[in-house]
């Protein structure tokens, strides 16, 4: 019976969407028979990669480097992505190579895929239980796209009388704003659902500060006011969502977020050059680099049926 330890190492701890990831494989044969490994596959929750370049024979009680493979990550995939590894094993028994089948390891591993750099986003959303039941999972989707989020009453708590000034301060410090318009009350005159009042105030502040803005609207809500104007005249992109099918929203965010991040970066670049233009540079800044280790994994294998 063949026994082995499969080890691998990704060359980075975190990748960006659309980046090429390099993975290296090693095998330690802990048994007394020759083994041959081939047909490697890396199965993610978004697709499977066949790694034909990884294969090799290994002697008993030895350890070898099997090879290195490069996989292209999709541009629309972000977050902590789960994957498993599987491969075929042949064992040399009584002078014959015996196909002992495909080994699929049950343990799942994680590959981190996040856009860089991280941006700070103000999230305008409701704090009631019914709002957070929808808003919390949406915010987690937003974070997957390389955003740190802040909402007054969630990440930042202040006394009631300080809320207005704190809202403005936080929006000022953020790179952009994303508003999540969930239903708040039914308009008696029109019969339409309206969203929370603070959303109008916070989007108004952000518009006055010329912040990039994205509005996510529950399909039952009729916006009205400034948010409606901004989306109608293409000053802010609008994404409608079904609160009972948030996976559909995830797909819509994947289509919009790359451009939204580019909008933020462009504005940052403009601000940077405006600041530089007002400064007299008296010296050079030295930037330090921190090296992060790659992701390392290993599993035990056996040809026993």
Supply the DSSP symbol for 40. E
CATH code for the domain defined by 3-114+293-302: 2.60.40.3880
Q: Look at residue 173 and give its three-state secondary structure.
A: helix
- pLDDT tens for the chain, 305 residues long, are 789 999 999 999 899 999 999 999 999 999 999 999 999 999 998 999 998 889 999 999 999 999 999 999 998 899 999 999 999 999 999 999 999 999 988 889 999 999 989 999 999 999 999 999 999 999 999 999 999 999 999 999 999 999 999 999 999 999 999 999 999 988 877 888 999 999 999 999 999 999 999 999 999 999 989 999 999 888 899 999 999 999 999 999 998 999 999 999 998 777 766 665 665 444 433 333 333 345 556 666 776 65
DSSP output for 44-101: ETTEEEEETT--EEE-TTEEEEEEEEEEEPPTT--EEEEEEEEEEEEEEETTEEEEEE
pLDDT score at 53: 86
pLDDT score at 111: 94
**∠ CA(250), CA(255), CA(258), 5° rounding?**
110
* CB 215, CB 299: distance < 8 Å: no
* CB 198, CB 179: distance < 8 Å: no
pLDDT score at 10: 94
Question: Would the CATH topology of 3-114+293-302 be identical to that of 119-244?
Answer: no
For domain 119-244, the CATH class is alpha beta
pLDDT score at 134: 96
Q: Which helix (H) or strand (E) holds 190?
A: none
pLDDT score at 245: 95
Domain limits of the chain? 3-114+293-302, 119-244
CB-based contacts of 84, cutoff 8 Å, min separation 6: 42, 43, 104, 105, 106, 107, 108, 109
């Amino acid at each position: 019976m063949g026994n082995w330890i499969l080890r691998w190492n990704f060359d980075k701890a975190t990748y960006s969407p659309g980046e090429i990831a390099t993975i290296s494989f090693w095998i330690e044969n802990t048994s007394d028979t020759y083994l041959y490994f081939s047909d490697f596959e890396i199965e993610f929750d978004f697709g499977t990669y066949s790694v034909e370049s990884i294969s090799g024979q290994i002697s008993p009680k030895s350890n070898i480097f099997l090879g290195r493979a490069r996989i292209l990550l999709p541009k629309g995939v972000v977050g902590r992505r789960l994957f498993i590894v599987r491969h075929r094993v042949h064992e040399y028994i009584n002078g014959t190579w015996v196909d002992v089948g495909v080994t699929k390891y049950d343990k799942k591993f994680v590959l981190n895929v996040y856009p860089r750099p991280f941006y700070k986003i103000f999230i305008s959303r409701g704090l009631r239980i019914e709002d957070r039941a929808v808003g919390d999972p949406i915010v987690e989707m937003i974070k997957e796209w390389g955003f740190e989020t802040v909402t007054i009453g969630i990440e930042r708590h202040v006394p009631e009388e300080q809320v207005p000034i704190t809202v403005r301060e936080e929006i000022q410090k953020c790179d952009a704003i994303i508003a999540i318009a969930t239903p708040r009350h039914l308009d008696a005159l029109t019969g339409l659902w309206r969203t929370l009042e603070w959303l109008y105030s916070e989007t108004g502040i952000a518009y006055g500060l010329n912040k990039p803005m994205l509005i996510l609207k529950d399909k039952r809500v009729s916006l009205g006011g400034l948010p409606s104007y901004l989306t109608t005249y293409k000053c802010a992109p609008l994404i409608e969502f079904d609160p009972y099918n948030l996976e559909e929203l995830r797909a819509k965010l994947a289509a919009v977020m790359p451009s939204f991040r580019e909008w933020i970066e462009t504005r940052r670049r403009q601000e940077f050059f405006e600041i530089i233009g007002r400064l007299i540079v008296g010296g050079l800044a030295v930037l330090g680099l921190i090296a992060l280790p790659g992701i390392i994994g290993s599993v035990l294998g056996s040809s026993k049926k």
